[in-house]
Structure 1
Amino acid sequence: MTGIGAKALQTRWFVRSPIPLFRAGLGFVFGGRLLLLQHLGRTSGQPRYVALETVERPATDRIIIASGFGAKAQWYRNLQADPHCRVWIGFDRNRAAIARTLTREESAAVLSRYRREHPKAYAQLASVIEEATELSIDDIPYVELHLS
């Protein structure tokens, strides 16, 4: 099963397939597990979109996401250049947000909670990320989105 998950993460059409649903106002079908992130291209300045899985939602105005492909992920690099973004999640559409990369200590705490609260999902996610990217789930960047 891990091999399938890793291949899916590396398949562009598959990872982009939720985007039209979010843009059509149907993001609620993902029940808050996925979000649509709009960010600006750091060179082009044009809007870019990516569907991401939430790791944690510590408050209604805060969402934690992980950059499964590490610091080289385009959306992550774009947020480093300009942290202003927009988020679609659940019934919320097109909410302004500011992104902040968590410190190593904050990331470890988030991951510890995730591991404790979702042990099966953690094990599967860790193996998929490690197989797809050769990065440890402990070393990837975690980002907090603060919704306005």
Structure 2
Amino acid sequence: MTRRIPRVVARAPIPLFRSGFGFLMGNRLTMLEHRGRVSGQARYVVLEVLERDPDGLVVVSGYGRGAQWYRNVLADPVVRVWSGRRRGAGGRATAIPAGEVPRRLEDYRRRHRRAAKALGRTLALPDLASDGPLPSDIGARLPLVRIEYAAR
């Protein structure tokens, strides 16, 4: 069972990102603005970045497929991203196929060993925190989303 981070802690970085100081959080966190699937209102979430390139980034849904932000971006993939010095950049969210998830998570664990262990402990996901092979169902439990930046 995934452990929940207290809401006040999870939402604490949002004012920093919204006021333009998100770069203080480093390159490993990003803030995503998405639309509520029922309300249509703007919603915000701060997420761990697994991969980054000039065209976009990959984030993980630590709370699985039931996370509200994940369900929202599947319903409406148009998002805005705050990451590093990038503020409110338009983008499009796409779920990464479950078959690709183990390879990407293994790469993340290799590149950011301590962060992966900390994230695994925080979310009570021992598979991510261990050095052993990832289970075959990890793609179903930890979905990844690619955020492609909109052309400028």
1:42 correspondence with 2:34: no
Give the conservation status (yes or no) of the 8 Å contact 2:5–2:123.
no
Unaligned runs of 5+ in 2: 129-137
Within the candidate set 73, 77, 82, 1:88 is matched to 82
Alignment partners' CA distance in 2, 1:117 and 1:110: 11
Partner residue in 2 for 1:140: 142
Question: What is the percent sequence identity of the aligned residues?
Answer: 42
**Offset of 1:52 from its aligned partner?**
1.1
Within the candidate set 105, 126, 129, 1:111 is matched to 105
**Offset of 1:130 from its aligned partner?**
2.6
Greater shift in the superposed pair: 118-127 or 92-101: 118-127
Aligned-pair Cα RMSD in Å: 1.6
Within the candidate set 5, 27, 47, 1:52 is matched to 47
**TM-score with structure 2 length normalisation?**
0.83
Note the alpha carbon deviations across 1:94-128, whole angstroms, 9 max, x for none.
00110011112221121111121122222232232
Alignment partners' CA distance in 1, 2:148 and 2:45: 17
Greater shift in the superposed pair: 76-85 or 108-117: 108-117
Within the candidate set 57, 67, 71, 1:63 is matched to 57
Alignment partners' CA distance in 2, 1:56 and 1:99: 14
Unaligned runs of 5+ in 1: 1-5
Name the aligned partner's letter for residue 141 of structure 1. P
Partner residue in 2 for 1:77: 71
**Offset of 1:136 from its aligned partner?**
5.6
Alignment partners' CA distance in 2, 1:136 and 1:41: 31
Alignment partners' CA distance in 2, 1:51 and 1:123: 19
**TM-score with structure 1 length normalisation?**
0.85
Name the aligned partner's letter for residue 140 of structure 1. L
Structure with more helix by fraction: 1
